[in-house]
Structure 1
Amino acid sequence: MTTMYGIPNCDTIKKAKKFLTDNNIAFNFHDYRKDGIDEALLESFFTQLGWENVLNKRGTTYRALSEEQKQTLNEQNAKALLLESPAMIKRPILVNENKYYLGFKKEQYQEIFSL
């Protein structure tokens, strides 16, 4: 089963969900705010995608960090920040057949699902 991770009010999530629905692809949606996120799940994202790729540096939550926090980011303190503020996780993260994909691009999804 395909699982998409994110927050529902994100425009990119909306586009990705619409793509999957329009193409009759069954998926589960894991809402960080409702369903939560634990260290094991976040660790799997880091292992598969790299912690620096998982961290969303374009969002308002990241931009609100102090310069010192940004300058001293490493895997350990990034993990703590993302567990505390899952909105800082780049989205969507899609897990399909034990493969992890980050972000949404129509062409990439067409390739993933052989459309």
Structure 2
Amino acid sequence: MITLYGLKNCDTCKKALKALADAGRETRFVDIRAEADLADRVPVWLAKIESKRLVNTRSTTWRGLDDEQRVRAETDTAALLIEHPTLIKRPVIEAGSDIWVGWTKAVEAALVQA
């Protein structure tokens, strides 16, 4: 079972869900704003992947942060991402014990051809 964390209106998340479904991979979608227990999941993700890979510095939310909040991305990443879920780079995909961030060709190859 694959769990994909993202936003319902995110084109990248939709693309990932479609590719996984087309490959016959059973996937559960979790909306990071409405359904995810980020206080539980974010620390797990940060234990496995570098924080810079998880923070979406190209997002509208990031551009709206002041300098003090941006510094928190390095000093208190978990709290910042829990407070602002749309800062999480999408999708975050849990496949067994593996965590994948984004929908790159490498991620697609690993999950669709697995």
TM-score by length of 1: 0.87
Q: Which structure 2 residue ranges, 5 or more long, are not aligned?
A: none
Q: 2: CA distance between counterparts of 1:73 and 1:94?
A: 21
Structure 1 residue 30: Cα displacement: 1.0
Q: 1: CA distance between counterparts of 2:82 and 2:71?
A: 19
Counterpart check, 1:114 vs 2:106: no
TM-score by length of 2: 0.87
The runs of 4+ residues in structure 1 deviating greater than 6 Å are none
Q: 1: CA distance between counterparts of 2:11 and 2:27?
A: 18
Number of residue pairs matched by the alignment: 114
Q: How does 1:1-115 map to 2 (within 5 A)?
A: 1-71=1-71, 73-76=73-76, 78-114=77-113
Look up the equivalent residue of 1:111 and give its one-letter code.
A
Structure 1 residue 107: Cα displacement: 4.7
Q: Does the 8 Å contact 2:38/2:82 carry over to 1?
A: yes
Q: 2: CA distance between counterparts of 1:59 and 1:85?
A: 11
Q: Does the 8 Å contact 1:7/1:33 carry over to 2?
A: yes
Structure 1 residue 72: Cα displacement: 5.1
Structure 1 residues 82 and 23: CA distance shift in structure 2, 3 A: same
Structure 1 residue 22: Cα displacement: 1.6
Structure 1 residue 27: Cα displacement: 0.7
Q: 2: CA distance between counterparts of 1:113 and 1:15?
A: 12
Q: Which structure 1 residue ranges, 5 or more long, are not aligned?
A: none
Structure 1 residues 114 and 73: CA distance shift in structure 2, 3 A: closer
Tell me the secondary structure at the aligned position of residue 100 of structure 1.
strand
Percentage of matched positions with identical amino acids: 32
Q: 2: CA distance between counterparts of 1:87 and 1:111?
A: 25
